[in-house]
Amino acid sequence: MIRNLTTLISSATQTVEISREQPTVIIGERINPTGRKNVLAALQAGNFDVVRQDALDQVAAGALVLDVNAGVPGMDEPVLLQKVLQTVMDVTDVPLCIDTANPTALEAALKTYQGKTLINSTNGEEKSLNAVLPLAREYGAAVIGLCIDDNGIPATPEARLAVAAKIIERAGQLGIPPADVVIDPLTLTLGADSQAAQVTLKTIELVVKEFGVNITAGASNVSFGMPDRKYLNAAFIAMAIHAGLTCPITNPLVTEVKTAVLAADLAMGRDDYGMRWITAYRQRQKEG
């Protein structure tokens, strides 16, 4: 039987343990100019106040890791990403997930970061594997591997499993252990394909059974283009945790999503005596 693996990531002062034996780790998604006009406008103007507040708000809401993206069209991403990363490190000491598709920006950020980061991301494309995995090895980082390859997004869970296997194998050839590879099975919108969530959930189950690695997902993608997104996101994330999801990239400020994570952890036996659930309930009562 495959053993559930533990991924450790850290800041200069904190270490976060990601494992199916532990409560779900929420990776806060909000420090990202894509689809957030206020973040985009602020970064274009050289204003980092929104980034600071997003970092503080997400940690206060329960995010144990923060995803940091600085992909602003027309700007020098290596320089900007370093500035955004440093801004977040100045106001919080939770571990960070460096989110960029630019290898030059990634290396600049890795040089700036203090601790063991999680790289978001590589995938099964040869260009991506060759660019990202050597940097992960050099800087001792963990890395997210997306189930996409040079042929595109696989349609079936079995084909996505094959991509995950390729990423884990290639990482291993460079000395990166499976525990430091977090697989993203890809979450596509139900608005375009009513079977999209089912394919993702089945992929999670297959990858966990085969490799025991940790699983992330851009969980809110499942509801893109649909009404009442928060309810779809909450239902999906709870089902995904049951399937083996351990560290979703999501918005901890959405009460329905955060509550679904807590409920799933309680139901999975990861909340002794329901203390985290009760504490969160009391906090909601106090705020409401």
**pLDDT average, residue stretch 149-156:** 97
**pLDDT average, residue stretch 254-275:** 97
Q: What is the pLDDT of residue 288?
A: 79
Give the CATH number, domain containing residue 277: 3.20.20.20
Q: What range defines the domain where residue 137 resides? A: 7-21+96-287
Report yes or no on 201 lying in a domain: yes
Inform me whether the pLDDT recorded for 230 exceeds 70: yes
pLDDT in tens, 169-217: 999 999 999 999 999 999 999 999 999 999 999 999 999 999 999 999 9
Report yes or no on 178 lying in a domain: yes
HSE-up (13 A, CA, CB side) for residue 188: 17
**pLDDT average, residue stretch 68-72:** 97
Inform me whether the pLDDT recorded for 1 exceeds 60: no
Report yes or no on 206 lying in a domain: yes
Cα Rg of the chain (Å, integer): 18
Report yes or no on 249 lying in a domain: yes
Strand-strand pairing, 181-184 and 27-31: unpaired
Q: How many domains is the chain built from? A: 1
Report yes or no on 77 lying in a domain: no
Report yes or no on 78 lying in a domain: no
Beta-carbon contacts of 93 under 8 Å, excluding residues fewer than 6 positions away, are 11, 12, 13, 14
Strand partners, 27: 65, 249
Global pTM reads: 0.97
